[in-house]
């Protein structure tokens, strides 16, 4: 199973009502790690997690470990 979260997610911006991109990014990564652990424990399968960003017009995927 693969989980992907992405940079500049409007849901996080509206939910956190934040103006600090670093704060939003930190929360996204924390949530991604949390759900990765939860799914891995619940379903007893390895879960890969990635954080997607646009860099110079191309999608990049950074692996995130729980």
Domain spans of the chain, in order of start: 2-64
**Contacts of 10 by beta carbon, 8 Å cutoff, 6+ apart:** none
Mean pLDDT of the chain, nearest integer: 90
pLDDT at 16 over 80: no
pLDDT of residue 20: 77
pLDDT at 12: 81
- Looking from the CA of 60 toward its CB, the CA atoms found within 13 Å total 6
% of the chain at pLDDT higher than 90: 65
64: pLDDT confidence band, cut at 50, 70 and 90?
very high
Find the mean pLDDT for residues 27-46: 94
pTM of the predicted protein model: 0.81
């Amino acid at each position: 199973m693969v989980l992907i979260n992405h940079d500049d997610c409007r849901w996080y911006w509206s939910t956190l009502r934040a103006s600090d991109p670093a704060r939003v990014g930190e929360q996204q990564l924390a949530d991604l790690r949390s759900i990765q652990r939860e799914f891995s424990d619940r379903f007893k399968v390895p879960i890969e997690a990635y954080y997607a960003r646009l860099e110079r017009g191309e999608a990049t995927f950074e692996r995130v470990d729980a």
